Amino acid sequence: MAERLTEILAQIAEQRERFYAELAQAGDGRNLDQVRVRFLGRKAPLAQYFDLIPKVAPEERRLLGKTLNEVRAELTEALEKRRQELSAAHAPEEEIDYTLPGLAPFVGKRHPVLQAMDRIKEIFYGMGFTVEEGPEIEDDYHNFEALNVPPDHPSRDLQDTFYLDGEFLLRTHTSPVQIRTMERYQPPIRMIAPGRCYRKDTPDATHSPVFHQVEGLCVDEGVTFADLKGVVETFAKRLFGPEVRIRFRPSFFPFTEPSAEYDFSCMMCGGKGCRVCKGTGWLEISGAGMVDPAVFRFVGYDPERYTGYAFGMGVERIAMLMYQVDDIRLFYDNDVRFLQQF
């Protein structure tokens, strides 16, 4: 039986040498698969030698089993190494199919609120208004006191904001830009102040703690309420078309006198009444009025010589009307499906 074992080991060594000879000749993955099947497959001679283990003497089984396992592991490792060598040698530097259509890059768009703000600025710029900017972190004087809102004035409760160290706060409107502009320049002044504002509002369909405003100011000799109405009406018609109508309702603001709220006729129903306008036919926009003489005194203007008007509007409210959006929170949810529509 020892002679039989010696013969089997010699055959295994011969198979090993033939494997390496054919492995060296394999030039691609297909040839490698043929070598693998021929020497390591289920019907290969090496696999058949495993069937002889139970048939040899017990003292010879260990040597035969150990030899077969070592040879199989060696051939498997050599086969994988050769496969990696061929893969590295034949790998193309760059695989590009020039017949395929190109991939268009994703191009972002301006946020719908900024699109609305751009349109507002375009209209007022066309009417001779300049665009002025100011800090979002304001001091109490410019945000309240210079606008005729002293520390104990009840209207401050309606503009509760985020306070910082000292006398600083996040501005509640862009009206402080009007004060800063009047401090820098003498009349005539015709300007708008677009920008971001902050208030401690609970988010709902029409309120957000962060929002955008555009406030306007015109100061000169002989400016009247009729001029204010003409500017607001011109703006409305250029933004929503010639069919839109405006109306003014008496109101109160500390920095204007007389003061008014102004509305636009509902664009959804043409003023006939619908769910959006709650059946009234009108949509509230914002407030306006003639600049209070007390404000002129804060900036050193002579109220006996100069008059002026001021107005404001929420940009999100305008955007909601322009794009027929019924919830302000959609502008800030960052849902790409929503934003891609604009």
DSSP per position, 93-132: S----TTSPP-PPP-----HHHHHHHHHHHHHHHTT-EE-
pLDDT at 195 over 70: yes
Q: Give the mean model confidence (pLDDT) for residues 68-91.
A: 81
Q: Whole-prediction pTM value?
A: 0.66
Q: Give the mean model confidence (pLDDT) for residues 205-234.
A: 92
Q: Give the mean model confidence (pLDDT) for residues 274-303.
A: 88
Q: Give the mean model confidence (pLDDT) for residues 63-79.
A: 85
7 vs 29, 42, 94, 112, 240, CA distance in Å?
33, 22, 52, 86, 100
Q: Give the mean model confidence (pLDDT) for residues 138-145.
A: 90
| Highest mean pLDDT, choosing among 59-63, 273-277, 292-296 | 292-296
Residue type, 277: C
| Residue-level pLDDT at 83 | 84
Greater model confidence, 143 or 65 = 143
Q: Give the mean model confidence (pLDDT) for residues 149-164.
A: 73
Pairing mode, strands 246-253 and 256-265: antiparallel
pLDDT at 96 over 80: no
Q: Give the mean model confidence (pLDDT) for residues 140-147.
A: 89
CB distance 322 to 123 below 8 Å: no
Q: 3 by DSSP, 3-state: which? A: helix
| Residue-level pLDDT at 159 | 65
| Residue-level pLDDT at 276 | 67
Q: Give the mean model confidence (pLDDT) for residues 17-34.
A: 83
Q: Give the mean model confidence (pLDDT) for residues 262-282.
A: 79
| Residue-level pLDDT at 156 | 66
pLDDT in tens, 175-187: 999 999 999 999 9
How much of the chain exceeds pLDDT 70, in percent? 95
Q: Give the mean model confidence (pLDDT) for residues 173-198.
A: 94
Distance CA 329, CA 334 (A): 10
Chain centroid, CA 96 distance in Å: 32
Strand partners, 200: none
Strand partners, 232: none
| Residue-level pLDDT at 190 | 96
Q: Give the mean model confidence (pLDDT) for residues 123-143.
A: 93
Residue type, 69: N
Greater model confidence, 62 or 287 = 287
| Residue-level pLDDT at 2 | 57
User: What angle, rounded to 10 degrees, do the helices at 58-90 and 2-25 form?
Assistant: 0
| Residue-level pLDDT at 91 | 55
248: region left, alpha or beta (phi > 0 left; psi from -120 to 50 alpha): beta
| Residue-level pLDDT at 62 | 80
Q: Give the mean model confidence (pLDDT) for residues 285-296.
A: 92
Greater model confidence, 200 or 151 = 200
| Residue-level pLDDT at 281 | 85
| Residue-level pLDDT at 158 | 65
Distance CA 32, CA 28 (A): 6
Nearest-CA neighbor of 38 among 61, 6, 56, 15? Answer: 15
pLDDT in tens, 243-262: 899 999 999 988 899 999 99
Mean pLDDT over all residues of the chain?
86
